[in-house]
Structure 1
Amino acid sequence: MSPLAAYGLLAHGLIFGALASLLPLGILRPHAALAATTVALLAGIAPVMHATFGTPSVTLLMLAILHLPAKPMAPLTYPGALGLLAFAGLFYPAALGWGSFDPYALGYQPWALLAALIPVGFALWLRRMNTWLLILAVDLAAYASGIFANLWDVLFDPLLVFVAFCIVLQHHVVRFIAARRR
């Protein structure tokens, strides 16, 4: 088994555990997340997720890990999710060939992309967004490990974009329900 496949299976097990931690179980929530992670790895749920969704980004894995503790730290909020959706709305069509520029190809020779991440990291540091700075650092360390061939695969993936879409949708549904109650 390749290191990338092993990473994908373990990451999907943790992501499934993070999904299980969304259940309203009170103080049993962290235990349910641990049990769901174990079940996903032993019962074959993680391989099915890996086959369906592909290798998850390290960013998604970090967000899942941050959601596992008894008091989850969820740094992906509505503004960040909306920004990710806007970026994905421009990135994926161009990467799929709807234009002459392929941004995905930049991830194979990522010097320009790494240079663009320097001001991003500096802005995160200035705004004291330490959790996001840690996620970016782990992303870059994962890319430097050589497991991933493309830097974009480390930073985000379609499943992360779907999570961002769900966060934006939830925000709008909650606002709509609140407006209807007035």
Structure 2
Amino acid sequence: MNALSAYSLLAHGLIFGALASLLPLGVLRPKAALTATTIALIAGIAPVMHSLFGTPSVTLLMLAIHHLPARPLTPLGYPGALGLLAFAALFYPAALGWGAFDPYALGYQPWMLLGALIPVGLALWLRRMHVWLMILAVDLAAYASGIFDNLWDVLVDPLLVLLAFCIVLRQLVLRVIAARHR
């Protein structure tokens, strides 16, 4: 097993644990997350997730890790999720060949992409978004480790976009319900 496969299995185990932590279990929530992570690794749920979704991005793994403690820290809210969906609506069609420009190819020689992340990091620092700045730092360290061939694979993946879609959809449903009860 190579390092990328090992990362993928462990990451999917933790992501499954973060999903289990969404259950309303009160004080048992962290223990349920730990149990679900262990079961995902032992019972084969993590390999199934890997076969369905591919290797998760480090960003998604960091969001899952932030959701595991007794008091979860979920930095991906509605505005961020909406921005991620807008990015994905432009990025994925172009990366799949719907146009002359392939943005995914930039991730193999990422000097331009790394240069574009400098103002992003500066903006995160100025806005005191330290959790996102730490996630970006871990993303860049993971890319520097050499496990990933493409910087985009570290930053974003389809499962993260699905998570963003669920966050946006949940917010829209809550707004519709609130509007009906007025």
| Fold conserved between structures, TM > 0.5 | yes
Cα separation, 1, equivalents of 2:93 and 2:107: 16
Deviations 1:130-169 (A, max 9, x none): 0000000000000000000000000000000000000000
Q: CA–CA distance in 2 between the matches of 1:178 and 1:170?
A: 12
SS of the residue aligned with 2:63?
helix
**Counterpart position of 1:39:** 39
Give TM-score scaled by structure 2 length.
1.00
1:171 alignment partner in structure 2: 171
Gaps of 5+ in 1: none
Distance 2:47 2:71 in 1: 28
**What runs of 5+ residues in structure 2 fail to find an aligned partner?**
none
* Structure-1 residue corresponding to 2:29: 29
Q: Which amino acid aligns with 1:143?
A: Y
> What is the rounded CA distance, in whole Å, between the counterparts of 1:143 and 1:98 in structure 2?
27
1:13 equivalent to 2:13? Answer yes
Alignment map for 1:30-69 (pairs within 5 Å):
30-69=30-69
Offset at 1:70?
0.2
Q: Percent identity?
A: 81
- How big is the shift at 1:29? 0.3
For residue 120 of structure 1, what is the aligned residue in structure 2? 120
Q: Specify the alignment match of 1:93 in structure 2.
A: 93
TM, length-normalised to structure 1: 1.00
Using the TM superposition, give the Cα deviation of residue 84 of structure 1 relative to its aligned residue in structure 2, in angstroms. Answer: 0.2
Runs of 4+ aligned structure 1 residues displaced above 2 Å come to none
- Match of 2:48, SS state, is helix
Q: Give the secondary structure class of the aligned counterpart of 1:55.
A: coil
Secondary structure, counterpart of 2:55 in structure 1? coil
Deviations 1:92-119 (A, max 9, x none): 0000000000000000000000000000
Partner deviation per Cα, 1:65-88 (whole Å, 9 max, x = no partner)? 000000000000000000000000
